[in-house]
């Protein structure tokens, strides 16, 4: 980061930091201790990088509020109960613990995506109240706490914009957003406008102007699209970042940062984001982006090969996906985890040459391992992902076709050759992924991926056994293969944003209370 010219790192923690008074906060979730965070801050300071804690003080707290000890402080499963004195006692403990290890006086207090604010226990206790007013009540109380510790706060702006929209849409330019309404918002915190969806520069200009109605320039936060499974969606990243940062420069916005999320399993290694960081750095030092300079600077700063990093996008940008993947398709995730026999995504990929695509990509990723220095592990991991998908992507379709055509030789080939080979490749992938995870992450959290790989292995073995039983006359049919395949989305064409494991792997709920 320092070599790139970046000077701030925000540590996003929902419940992954230690709050002494709250033992269930971050319980078994790999939370950072005070000493951990202070060590990070000390190291960052050596390179002139400011570390800022980024926490949640309203919503995004499912992993906390699921514990029964918090029952009386929750509005719903992931939102704190506004107005409860116990809520503000807890929030103060959060803020004190999160800010204490860091030199900076700045803190991000979150408050985004409180989808059902005021509609749960709050409604039962208080009756209906407008979300805008509930946000104001909560903001006022949280800012009192922030002021007590002499901190300088910022917060995600979306809940105010959603409250002014008839559709609850952050980006609704027709929302009833008046200066009179804005003037009711408590003062003393800077808004963070987050957006990694739009490719129209004028949209960003308009949203920045709306944020300025609050009385100051917003901070802008974009995103590196690495949170939808393995690899990166560079098309979406570049095509949203370039107009966004161009607009920020024209509007005179002084501070931007880029978000790196780990939604639903964090299959993608954190260092995959390096090219996105370089993109932001180059925008920061140039009026207009020079892509050749971006390539040169990336290779100088990281020792990596630019073209190899670009090729990572083809794990997601497969045949059937428009150029640059604007609709956020992530077939490498849902084709990895979907079941071979039930194949919920099979209908949507019929007729696409995915086996050939992944076979070719596998060769490119294998060659890249030796060209990327300290970051070769990224390509070792993704080579193994593509190697699995070169068999698995179309396996369900091909097995189903052979079954319905009565092609027992083809079924036998899957039982004796291809599915055992697939198991070997999944085992290799798991072993590499485990090594990479433990090199770059805390141990807690790996259990999720371990269970996914374990399920994939045992379900592949089940497929072998069930097909073998059919071939040898022990059963008359394979019930799963008798079922008609329907579109996952109800529409033709490849699935976009299939990012939730529970809905990918089975049509039944695998964790009814999860």
Count the neighbouring beta carbons within 10 Å of the beta carbon of residue 35: 10
* Residue that the structure tokens 């509609």 belong to: 119
Count the neighbouring beta carbons within 10 Å of the beta carbon of residue 64: 25
What pLDDT, on a 0 to 100 scale, did the predictor assign at position 145? 98
Of 404, 380, 335, 391, nearest to 358 by C-alpha is 391
Q: What is the pLDDT of residues 188-226, one digit of tens each?
A: 999 999 999 999 999 999 999 999 999 999 999 999 999
Share of the chain above pLDDT 90, in %: 97
Contacts of 500 (CB under 8 A, 6+ apart): 264
Measure the CA–CA gap between 252 and 239, rounded to whole angstroms: 21
Contacts of 245 (CB under 8 A, 6+ apart): 220, 222, 256, 280, 283, 289
Q: What is the average pLDDT across 256-261?
A: 98
What pLDDT, on a 0 to 100 scale, did the predictor assign at position 510? 86
Q: What is the pLDDT of residues 81-103, one digit of tens each?
A: 999 999 999 999 999 999 999 99
Q: What is the pLDDT of residues 179-190, one digit of tens each?
A: 888 999 999 999
Of 95, 122, 105, 118, nearest to 25 by C-alpha is 95
* Statement: 2-286 belongs to CATH 3.40.50.2300: no
pLDDT exceeds 90 at position 326 = yes
What pLDDT, on a 0 to 100 scale, did the predictor assign at position 512? 67
* Residue that the structure tokens 């400011």 belong to: 50
Measure the CA–CA gap between 434 and 423, rounded to whole angstroms: 16
What pLDDT, on a 0 to 100 scale, did the predictor assign at position 349? 98
The sign of the torsion formed by the CA atoms of 92, 93, 97, 98 equals negative
Of 12, 510, 459, 492, nearest to 221 by C-alpha is 12
Q: What is the pLDDT of residues 125-178, one digit of tens each?
A: 999 999 999 999 999 999 999 999 999 999 999 999 999 999 999 999 998 888
Provide DSSP, 212-270. Answer: HTTSSPPEEEEE-S--SSSS--HHHHHHHHHHHHHHHHHHT---EEEE---GGG--S-G
Measure the CA–CA gap between 17 and 212, rounded to whole angstroms: 33
Radius of gyration (C-alpha) of the chain in whole angstroms: 25
Q: What is the average pLDDT across 263-272?
A: 95
What pLDDT, on a 0 to 100 scale, did the predictor assign at position 513? 62
190-194 vs 219-223, strand pairing mode = parallel
Measure the CA–CA gap between 253 and 172, rounded to whole angstroms: 22
- CB 132 within 8 Å of CB 164: yes
Q: What is the average pLDDT across 498-513?
A: 90
* Statement: 330-505 belongs to CATH 3.30.750.24: no
Instruction: Give, for 152, the enclosing helix (H) or strand (E).
Output: strand 152-156
Ordered by start, the domain boundaries in the chain are: 2-286, 330-505
Q: What is the average pLDDT across 333-361?
A: 98
Q: What is the average pLDDT across 433-441?
A: 97
Q: What is the pTM of this model?
A: 0.97
Give the chain's mean pLDDT.
97
What pLDDT, on a 0 to 100 scale, did the predictor assign at position 511? 78
């Amino acid at each position: 980061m320092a070599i790139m010219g970046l000077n701030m790192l925000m540590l996003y923690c929902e419940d992954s930091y230690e709050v002494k008074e709250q033992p269930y906060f971050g319980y078994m979730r790999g939370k950072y201790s005070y000493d951990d965070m202070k060590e990070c801050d000390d190291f960052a300071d050596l390179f002139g990088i400011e570390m800022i804690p980024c926490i949640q003080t309203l919503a995004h707290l499912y992993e906390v509020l699921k514990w029964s000890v918090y029952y009386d402080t929750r509005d719903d499963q992931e939102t704190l109960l506004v107005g409860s004195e116990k809520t503000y006692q807890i929030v103060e403990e959060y803020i004190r613990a999160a800010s204490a290890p860091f030199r900076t006086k700045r803190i991000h207090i979150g408050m985004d995506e409180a989808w059902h604010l005021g509609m749960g226990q709050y409604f039962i206790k208080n009756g209906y109240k407008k979300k805008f007013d509930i946000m104001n009540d909560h903001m006022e109380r949280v800012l009192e706490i922030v002021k007590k510790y002499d901190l300088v706060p910022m917060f995600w702006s979306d809940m105010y914009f959603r409250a002014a929209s008839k559709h609850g849409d952050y980006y609704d330019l027709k929302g009833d957003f008046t200066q009179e309404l804005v003037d009711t918002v408590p003062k003393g915190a800077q808004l963070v406008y987050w957006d990694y969806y739009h490719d129209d520069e004028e949209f960003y200009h308009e949203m920045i102007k709306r944020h300025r109605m609050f009385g100051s320039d917003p901070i802008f936060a974009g995103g590196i699209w690495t949170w939808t499974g393995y690899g990166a969606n560079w098309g979406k990243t570049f095509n949203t970042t370039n107009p966004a940062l161009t607009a920020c420069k024209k509007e005179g916005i002084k501070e931007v940062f880029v978000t790196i999320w780990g939604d639903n399993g964090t299959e993608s290694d954190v260092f995959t984001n390096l090219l996105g960081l370089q993109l932001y750095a180059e925008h920061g030092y140039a009026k207009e982006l020079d892509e050749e300079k971006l390539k040169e600077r990336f290779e100088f700063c990281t020792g990596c090969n630019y073209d190899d990093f670009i090729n990572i996008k083809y794990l997601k940008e497969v045949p059937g996906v428009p150029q640059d993947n604007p609709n956020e398709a992530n077939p490498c995730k849902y084709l990895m985890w979907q079941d071979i026999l039930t194949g919920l995504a099979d209908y949507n990929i019929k007729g696409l040459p995915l086996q050939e695509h992944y076979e070719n990509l596998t060769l490119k990723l294998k060659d890249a391992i030796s060209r990327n220095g300290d970051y070769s592990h990224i390509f070792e991991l993704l080579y193994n992902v593509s190697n699995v998908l070169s068999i698995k992507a179309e396996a369900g379709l091909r097995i189903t076709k052979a079954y319905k055509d009565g092609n027992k030789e083809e079924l036998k080939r899957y039982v004796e050759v291809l599915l055992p080979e697939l198991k070997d490749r999944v085992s290799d992938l798991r072993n590499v992924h485990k090594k990479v995870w433990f090199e770059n992450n805390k141990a807690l959290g790996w259990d999720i991926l371990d269970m996914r790989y374990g399920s994939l292995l045992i379900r592949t073995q089940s497929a072998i056994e069930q097909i073998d039983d059919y071939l040898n006359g022990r059963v008359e049919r394979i019930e799963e293969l008798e079922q008609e395949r329907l579109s996952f989305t109800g529409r033709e064409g490849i699935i976009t944003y299939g990012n939730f494991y529970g809905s990918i792997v089975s049509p039944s709920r695998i964790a009814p209370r999860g």
